[in-house]
Structure 1
Amino acid sequence: MDSITHTTRRRLLAAGGATAVAGLAGCTDIINTIAGAILKDVNVLNGTDQERSGTVTVVDPNGDTQLEESFTVAPSDSDEEDTDEPSSTPAYADVFTDAGEYTVTVELDSAINETSSREATVTVDTPEEQHIIVGLGADGAPSPIEILVINEFSDLADRFGDDA
């Protein structure tokens, strides 16, 4: 049914670092292309200093559940080289069915700033180009659990400033 890919934190951080460098050089198109190959339809990013686990559910515009998966994501400050287990960023492909409104529900096993769940309805206009980002504890986010749609990786920097 659903396809999950565990993108290594190193690859995602490398794309983020490259975005910052390329942004300075005016080459964000190249970085967005690289990051677009890494990002899937739904991606869970952890900006906290603790491992986070929970479930993410996505219901499509027709009311059908397209994704209902448990996840565990390493803390943002973890160092992959110092552990035997590779840390990863949960990324799920084959979630989008059509353009329209998707309902995304996130339930965490432990709260972030007293928030353990969030539901949001987001609009996906171009399913082949857009990505849903579930941000946990992101700096500059209005909520401890942020759910948003991006077209390109650099949209995260636009949304959250230089901390993305």
Structure 2
Amino acid sequence: MSLGPGAFPQPAGASDPRVPVIRRMRRGAGWFLTIAVLSGVNALLEIFDAKIRFIFGLGITQAVDAIGHGGGQNGMIATMAVDGLFIVMLILCSRWAKAGSQGAFVGGMIAYALDGLLLLPFRMWLDAAVHGYALYLIWQGYVAARELAQMQQAAAPGLSQPTLP
């Protein structure tokens, strides 16, 4: 009896060439969720006057938090609403991008790039550089989403949205 590669059953999808592409796509899309969570934590840290923050958060929430912090309780309520809006936007980008939406990738990358540009007038160079790094990783997910759509189109012409295993 021989124990070659065919001796053990292959896990489902192991021979599917889309699996590594889907993993890359979801890894890139996961950065939207990471940024959303860390931005939420940063907002909470600002509310409680902590002197620390995560560098992967959004610059716009930092600006809104700083403005709202000086406005008393009404300012904090407005701050939480605006922060929540941006965080929900990132969560939705993550969810849709993980499902293969190239538009979610593009829209999220544009918003995050603009957020990074907001940091430059304040000379927050390290934060802007981290934005660039995160954008690169999200871009890798976008490239994988495009590759997956091309693979799907070649396999089943006429489909507009890739189907994931």
TM-score (norm 2): 0.25
Bigger CA radius of gyration = 2
Larger helix proportion, structure 1 or 2?
2
